[in-house]
Amino acid sequence: MSLDKVLSIGGKPGLYKLIAQTRSGFVAESLIDNKRISVSVQNNVSVLSEIAIYTLTEEVPLKQVFENIKKKENGQQASVKPKDSKDVLEAYFFDVLPDYDEDRVYASDIKKVIQWYNLLQKYDMLNFSDAEEESDTASNEEE
């Protein structure tokens, strides 16, 4: 699955999968407990494919950060816990993304990235190249 359909909803824990659009918003399904909720356009919603991490030279898409973590962890859960100390989290993130901007990427951001990675890894949703190939094939078939 691509990150285009994975959402973070402000004030709600975990990640959500976009199910359907409605007139006043959309329906999303929790990756944690599979419960469906109706989300209005007033909610603060972020699509994971639109999120990037600041580095000293550019913004790196979240997808690339997840791929770096996956490579570092050999496809397993992150070796640090989101509740670890700020120093442990920052040291880990330097291994994953060596030139991330310490002034603009906070420990709370790193915690979120690790939580999201672990959740996506748990549900085997980190195979981005497969999802991209499927969408490329589908768009080529339409032409």
Query: Cα separation of 37 and 29, whole Å?
Result: 6
To the nearest 10°, report the CA torsion of 84, 53, 32, 121.
Answer: -80
- CATH class in words for 51-129: mainly alpha
Burial class (CB in 10 A: 0-12, 13-18, 19+), 71: exposed
φ, ψ of residue 20 to 5 degrees: the values are -155, 155
Q: What is the pLDDT of residue 99?
A: 95
Q: What is the pLDDT of residue 2?
A: 82
CATH for 3-48 (2.30.30.730, 2.40.10.410, 3.40.50.300, 3.40.50.10490): 2.30.30.730
Q: What is the pLDDT of residue 127?
A: 86
Query: Cα separation of 126 and 101, whole Å?
Result: 24
The domain segmentation of the chain, as residue ranges, is 3-48, 51-129
Q: What is the pLDDT of residue 128?
A: 73
Over the chain (143 residues), the average pLDDT of each successive run of 10 is: 89 93 93 94 93 96 96 94 95 95 96 95 82 45 46
Per-residue tokens: 75: 């496809």
pTM summary value: 0.86
Q: Please indicate whether the domains covering 3-48 and 51-129 agree at the CATH topology level.
A: no
To which residue do tokens 């989290």 refer? Answer: 89
Query: Cα separation of 135 and 143, whole Å?
Result: 13
Q: What is the pLDDT of residue 96?
A: 96
